[in-house]
Amino acid sequence: MNAGNPKTLTEAVVRYADLDVCHAYMASLKWPDGCVKCPKCGGENVGIISTRRMFKCRNKECHKQFSAKVGTVFEDSPLGLDKWFVAVWCITNAKNGISSCELARALGVTQKSAWFMLHRVRLAMKRESFDKLTGEVESDETFIGGKAVNMSKSRRARHPAGTGFVGKEVVHGLIQRGDKAKGKASKVIATVVPNTKKKSLLPIIRTNVEPGTYLATDTAGAYSGLTEFIHETIDHAEAYVRGRCHTNGLENFWSLFKRSVNGTYVAIDAPHLFRYVDEQVFRFNERKTNDAGRFALVMPGVVGKRITYKQLIGAGPEGLRYDA
């Protein structure tokens, strides 16, 4: 970030209370070359309505008026960028996450609006990486969901009797172990999957891990057949560590994730779980970055993405799915 930009939440609140500053920042993210384009016709003959912090297309066939919010996760939001910027700062830098109730109190909005804001910012936090994991990698999965004894009678009736995993959601994770000598921190990739079967897990591993990499897993049958890796397994019924073979790195990540789930969010609807996973993955992978750095990393991610409230609650054409 440039000199003069905020480094703390207090500085961010003061800095982004100026809507002109927010408008200029968003415009620089949307049009980094300084050439503003109309979202309707694509024309570059665009004027500025300074009194309203808006743009207007000057093409005779268009005359579209638009703001810097168009084409971002902020689009169609009645809230000003001053609230949005502070929300992004709070969400990206809350170690254990921030609840919609807490965010609503901080910003002076309704809980429903804060919940919608949280999910929009989580969409911006999602990172796409084309670099495969190398070095030493661990693979493991965890289960998210309440205990059957705590479920309502009607919900418990929908889940057949079985192991403690019945009725829970599955999250699969891969972690590339850090290298202290090279100053590299560990890096996680986590995905919500429908089950722990081989057909669900192996494609994810093969897509994200470089062949020939050392891979440590437990003895689950789903991990058999990974011959393109240096694959070692450890039976947790006998030991948790055997030399370099362990999954303790992912166990640490699962612990951090469940702390935010149980302590901050309390309960998560299954269709939304993947967004909470994306949030925790970003926060874990950027844990060495300071608050200002995390804010600067997330802000470019708001551009080119959008989700409506109907889509979020499953009423839109996109619906809700694990790979959304």
pLDDT tens, residue by residue, 199-215: 999 999 999 999 999 99
- Give the C-alpha separation, 80 to 23, whole Å: 10
Q: Please, what is the end-to-end C-alpha distance for the chain in angstroms? A: 31
User: In sequence order, which residues have a C-beta less than 8 Å from that of residue 321 and are 6 or more positions away?
Assistant: 271
User: Of the given ranges (76-80, 136-140, 165-169, 235-239), which has the lowest mean pLDDT?
Assistant: 165-169
What is the CATH architecture of 136-288? 2-Layer Sandwich (3.30)
- Give the C-alpha separation, 292 to 226, whole Å: 41
- Give the C-alpha separation, 249 to 252, whole Å: 5
How does the average pLDDT of the chain come out, rounded?
89
User: Of the given ranges (32-46, 76-90, 232-246, 309-323), which has the lowest mean pLDDT?
Assistant: 309-323
* pLDDT attached to residue 120: 96
* pLDDT attached to residue 47: 93
pLDDT at 180 over 60: yes
pLDDT band at 148 (very low <50, low <70, confident <90, very high): low
pLDDT tens for 13-51 read 999 999 999 999 999 999 999 999 999 999 999 999 989
Residue, of 3 and 298, whose pLDDT is higher = 298
pLDDT band at 160 (very low <50, low <70, confident <90, very high): low
- Beta strand 136-144 pairing with 214-218: parallel
The domain limits of the chain are 136-288
Cα within 13 Å of Cα(307), Cβ side: 23
pLDDT at 295 over 70: yes
pTM of the model: 0.88
pLDDT at 162 over 90: no
Sheet hosting strand 65-66, strand order edge to edge: 46-49, 54-57, 65-66
Q: Return the number of other C-beta atoms located less than 10 Å from residue 33's C-beta.
A: 7
* pLDDT attached to residue 324: 29
Torsion sign, CA atoms 264, 266, 272, 274:
positive
CA angle 185, 324, 209 (to 5 degrees): 35
- Chain centre distance of CA 288: 17
pLDDT average, residue stretch 129-142: 92
pLDDT average, residue stretch 76-95: 95
